[in-house]
Amino acid sequence: MIIVAIKTESKKWDIKEAKKLFQEYLEKGIKEEKKETKLPENTVKIDDLNRKQTLGRIYKLTDSIIEMIYKNGRPSIKLPSRTSGNIIWDEENDLLLLGQQIMEKQFHSLGSVADITRLMKVLEKVNELLLKDMHATKREIFYSAVQLFGDQKNSDKCIEDVATMLYTTRNSTHIVASAKGSCIGRLRIRDRNDIIDLEGLGSGGWTITPMLDNVEILESDAEFILVLEKDAAMIRLSEARFWRKYPCIILTAKGAADIATRMFLRRISKELKLPVFTLVDSDPYGHYIHSVYLRGSKRLSYESPFLATPDIKLLGVLTRDLEKYKIPNDCRIPMNQTDIKRTKEMLSEDFVKKNKAWETDLKLALNLKMKAEIQALSTFGFEFLTDQYIPEKLSTGDWI
């Protein structure tokens, strides 16, 4: 007996609002291409450098260290401070940036002797990577001197410090984070010599590579990019072949956004001038993930200009949707103390305050003290997400 999958006829939504936005972005993108983004004066300027430039900076730094040793035997390294006090939100470009506070790591001080030695070790490794034009993950760096680093936390910190120390991006140091994101949809790229059509990769999609400097974007006819928080939603959408019906590129970082995914998102949205929508859980963590895509994390604030994708729209799941779609109480989860605390923290951020709609939504969440996951929508049927929820929102422009 042959069991034929029941395919309910679903109507095709006219995603007119999304299309409108696509037009806008296209025009804006062409305009913006002409003018450079100007960073505020009191911030540190970080450059995206090529291999040779980075090497040059490394030698300059080591020379100065040797000079110091010859002078009085007391080397020290100066680098921009990455404490939260030194992080500035650039309102104009909607970015988190690093201020000009400098800290000095002295070798002959008990507090920083370990730090400066580790920095030097990482610098040595970076030098090696760049010379050989190779990439390494953070983990690899950690294992190159386990004794010295003690814990991967220390080496990770140093890796970030080395990038700031050289006033360049993490990417330029050839140390990459293991990427876990995947992408699917109407996009064709070239990775070194391989041309990859992201439409023809089955339901798994293409795994975003951390070595994005090898990737070239070829063509796309998508009208928008959809960023998902979770792999579960990705499976839902890829099974439904969502991009066939609505021309789009779907992207997920499977949880928190890693650098490669963010960077890739930024690249495709910039190069293809597409509007970006995020679909995250309706909880403070989901909102936070959205904000990271939007304007970068605090930890890597200095790289925000290269990682963040401004003007992302938060498509869902919004707190107000819980009422609007009458999601049953069974599927709602009461907020715990950490959630409430996080929500309040979010509310105190400048960029949230500025976005009134977002602020209202978070406040509503605080009032209801309820959260829900994307999967809560499945209570109306598995197709609800692809056939009803997303298209409806896209057509009505129901986003933040």
Partner 1 sequence: MRKRTQLVGFEFGFWKHQQYASEFLDNALDAIEEFQWKELQEGDSRTQFSLDQELTLENLSILQEAQKDEIVQPLSNEVKFTLMQEIGIEPTEPSNTEIESTKDMEEDESGEIVDKEEIEVEEEVKRIIDDMNEIIKPVEPIVDIEPLVIIRLRESEAASFLTSELSQKNVMTYTFEIFDNGIGMHKGDMRKFGKYLASSKSLELKQTRGSQGFGAPSAFSDAQNTTGKPIVAVSKSKNTIYAIVSEFFTTSKNEKKYLVRPTEVDSNFLHGTYIKLHYLNVKYTRGFVDTYIKETALMNPHITLIFIDPYGKEWIYRRLVSSFPKQPKYAKPHPSSTNIGDLQDLLTKSENLTISAFLQDNFVRMSSKTAKEILKIAERNIEDKLSLMILKDGFINKLAKRSDPIYFFKYEKRVYGRSTKPRDKLIIYDIDSEELKNRYWESMDKHNKFDKDLEKLYREIRKHQDRIDKSETKKDIKKIEKEISILLNDVDRIFQERDEIKNELEKIFKDNSGLVEAKKLKNRSELEDLISEVQIFKVKPSELTNNQFNSLFHAFKSIKYMSPPTDTAIPVGDIVLESTLIKEIGLKISENIDDFDDPIENIKTSLDILQEDLKRDQDKKKIPREGEIIEDITITPEDVKNFNSSILASIDIKDQYSDLDKFQEKIEKNVNSTKEVQKDSYQEIFDFFADTYSKDDDFVSAETRPPTSGKGLAYIVEAALAYCNDSKKLDTPKRSRDVLSRFVNRTPKLRDSADCAITKAVQSVNWKNYKLDVFDNNLPKGPIKLLVNVSGPYVHLMFKSQSKNALAEDEDLLKEIKFCLEAIGRRLRVYLNRKANVRKNEKRAGLIEKYIPIFVQSTYNIVSQGEGKYKGKISEKELQNLMINAIGVKVPPKIKEKIVLAPEKMEAIELEPKKVEIKWEDTVIQTKVIPEKAEPRDEILSEKTLLNWTVNQLKEYCEEKNFSLPSQARKPEIVRCIQEFYDKRKPEKRIPLDIVAKIPLKTEPITRGSLIEKRRQLQIAKGEIIHQQPVKKESTIINQQLKPVLTQTQLPIVSTEKISEALSEDWQPITALIFKMKIKDMMDARFLQIKLKELERKGLVMVETKMGKKHWKLK
The residue (of 127 and 360) whose beta carbon lies closer to partner 1 is 127
- Written as one letter, the residue type at 184 is I
Judged by CB under 8 A, which stretch of 127-135, 183-191, 228-236, 320-328 contacts partner 1? 127-135
| 108 lies in the site for partner 1, by CB under 8 A | yes
- Tokens linked to 269: 């949205």
The site for partner 1, by CB under 8 A, has a size of 29
| 72 lies in the site for partner 1, by CB under 8 A | yes
Of 33, 104, 128, 271, the one binding partner 1 by CB under 8 A: 128
Of 30, 113, 134, 195, the one binding partner 1 by CB under 8 A: 113
Of 116, 183, 268, 370, the one binding partner 1 by CB under 8 A: 116
Rounded to an integer, what distance in angstroms lies between the CA atom of residue 218 and that of residue 377? 35
Distances (CA, A) of 382 to 141, 240, 294, 374, 387: 43, 10, 29, 11, 9
The answer to whether 270 and 264 have CB atoms below 8 angstroms apart is no
| 70 lies in the site for partner 1, by CB under 8 A | yes
Rounded to an integer, what distance in angstroms lies between the CA atom of residue 316 and that of residue 373? 10
CB of 56 to partner 1, least distance (A): 8
CB of 249 to partner 1, least distance (A): 41
CB of 370 to partner 1, least distance (A): 52
The residue (of 126 and 212) whose beta carbon lies closer to partner 1 is 126
CB of 160 to partner 1, least distance (A): 18
DSSP H helices, the chain, are 16-34, 51-72, 113-132, 138-144, 146-149, 152-165, 231-239, 242-245, 259-272, 284-295, 304-307, 319-324, 337-348, 350-354, 356-368, 390-396
Largest CA distance in the chain: 88
Rounded to an integer, what distance in angstroms lies between the CA atom of residue 354 and that of residue 53? 38
Side-chain-facing half-sphere of 230: CA atoms under 13 Å: 13
The residue (of 143 and 341) whose beta carbon lies closer to partner 1 is 143
The answer to whether 312 and 278 have CB atoms below 8 angstroms apart is yes
The answer to whether 46 and 170 have CB atoms below 8 angstroms apart is no
Judged by CB under 8 A, which stretch of 119-127, 183-191, 265-273, 352-360 contacts partner 1? 119-127
The residue (of 75 and 247) whose beta carbon lies closer to partner 1 is 75
DSSP calls for 148-186: HH-SHHHHHHHHHHHHHHTTB-TGGGTEEPPP--EEEES
The residue (of 112 and 395) whose beta carbon lies closer to partner 1 is 112
| 107 lies in the site for partner 1, by CB under 8 A | yes
Of 81, 117, 152, 360, the one binding partner 1 by CB under 8 A: 117
Peptide bond into 352 cis (omega under 30): no
Rounded to an integer, what distance in angstroms lies between the CA atom of residue 189 and that of residue 198? 8
Site for partner 1 in 146-185 (CB under 8 A): 148
The residue (of 60 and 369) whose beta carbon lies closer to partner 1 is 60
Residue 139: name the closest of 154, 158, 152 by CA: 152
| 69 lies in the site for partner 1, by CB under 8 A | yes
Judged by CB under 8 A, which stretch of 11-19, 109-117, 242-250, 341-349 contacts partner 1? 109-117
Q: Which residues are catalytic?
A: 143
DSSP calls for 73-113: S--EEEEE--SGGGEEEETTTTEEEEBS-EEEEETTSTTTH
| 59 lies in the site for partner 1, by CB under 8 A | yes
Of 82, 105, 121, 157, the one binding partner 1 by CB under 8 A: 121
Instruction: Give Cβ neighbours of residue 7 (< 8 Å, ≥ 6 apart).
Output: none
CB of 48 to partner 1, least distance (A): 21
| 75 lies in the site for partner 1, by CB under 8 A | yes
| 74 lies in the site for partner 1, by CB under 8 A | yes
The residue (of 108 and 241) whose beta carbon lies closer to partner 1 is 108
CB of 333 to partner 1, least distance (A): 49
Interface with partner 1 (CB under 8 A): 55, 58-60, 62-63, 65-66, 69-70, 72-75, 107-108, 110, 113-114, 116-117, 120-121, 123-124, 127-128, 131, 148
